[in-house]
Amino acid sequence: MTLREKIAQHFIVWIPRKADPSSIAGLKALKPAGYILYPWNFKTVADVRNLTAELSSIQDGDALTPGIRPFICADQEGGRVAAFRFKEFPAQPAAFQLGSLADPAIVEASAYSAALQLAYLGVNMNLAPVADLYGQADSSIIGDRSFGDDPESVAASVAAYVRGLERGGIIATLKHFPGHGVSTVDSHADLPVVSSVLEDLRGRELIPFIAGIGAGAQVVMTAHILYPAIDAENPATLSPAILNGLLRGDLDFEGVILTDGFEMGALAKSFGKAEALARALEAGVNLILLYDRYEPAEMIDLVEGLVRSGRISEETLDGNLMRILSVKEAYGLLR
């Protein structure tokens, strides 16, 4: 692979509103790691199936032989966060409603049902489950997206949800590490600051993540939250102490570390694009989610500049790439 192809495999990219065949072809030419779908990208079930088939197709003579297929992902948590709301499919309840039943078998069945729907649509990765605790009575951020407030009960639900997605062949994504539920600031707009110390996290927030990893989750999404007691300068997405130290070291996670949306105000207001990219890659991020504003080609250019300048090594990219391709291989995305 060329350097640029390696860099492109570090990004999940968004599809513009009213994208035409030319713009889809332009995105495919970049050869990103994957794509995220939103309701504005389709109207019907057939639209989604056609779009995912096109995004997954590999042209004759593609340089990436035998073929690296893309992650195709969506936020299909259930409840108020669901990219797909088709009359042909039963609606999935919010996590809090499922968690209130205190029956992991029902959670697993619901996740399996969602997985079958996603697989039919051609989606292979769900940005779920939410492993955050419902620590604050603030429905604007996590609220009913969480399975509840009790760490052990939430852990059982998270593990069950992961098992359900896995049974249906869908990649699960635990989010938002190391825990968003104690914050009442929306990271889409501003940087939340949480005073918890490491022992607080070990006693509560980390428990559902540990359970989800134990159940087989291959992807963990970071939170754009500053924990000054752990890293006074960097939010979790950019923090070596949290990603390499806590997630990789203490929790022994070997899968892919994915950022939350990179355009969110929590990062954009405090760091330039290039600096945020550099810090994320230095901290241990493997995959970057571009969700609605940053141009993928520009972001690839910026990482290429970081490599050319010596700030980021090609060895770092290679290590990330091996983790990403390992997950793709496990889910049949290498052909």
State residue 136's pLDDT score: 65
pTM to 2 decimals? 0.95
DSSP 82-143: ES---TTSPPPPPHHHHHHT--HHHHHHHHHHHHHHHHHHT--EE---B-----SS-TTTTG
pLDDT tens figures, 123-144: 999 999 999 999 766 555 788 9
pLDDT tens figures, 200-247: 999 999 999 999 999 999 999 999 999 999 999 999 999 999 999 999
pLDDT tens figures, 79-114: 999 999 999 999 999 999 999 999 999 999 999 999
Q: Over 60: is that where the pLDDT of 59 sits?
A: no
Q: Which CATH number does 3-330 carry?
A: 3.20.20.300
Q: Which position among 188, 190, 200, 301 bears the catalytic label?
A: 188
Cis peptide before 235 (omega within 30 of 0): no
Q: Hey, where are the domains in the chain?
A: 3-330
103 is an active site residue: no
Q: Which position among 132, 144, 231, 260 bears the catalytic label?
A: 260
Q: Residue 115 in contact with residue 84, Cβ under 8 Å?
A: no
Nearest to residue 219, comparing CAs of 324, 63, 99, 315? Answer: 324
260 is an active site residue: yes
